[in-house]
Structure 1
Amino acid sequence: MTSTPPPPVNEPDPSALVCLGTQVGPCATCQRKTHKYGRGGSPLCQWCMAPAMEAWGTTVRHTSTRP
Structure 2
Amino acid sequence: MKEKQELQVTDVFTKSRIFTYLWIVFCPPYGLYRVLSPSSEFRRPEKWVWTMIVICTLVTYVKLIITG
Common topology (TM > 0.5): no
Query: Computing the radius of gyration over CA atoms, which structure comes out larger, 1 or 2?
Result: 2
TM-score (norm. length: structure 2): 0.29
TM-score (norm. length: structure 1): 0.29
Structure number having the greater helix percentage = 2
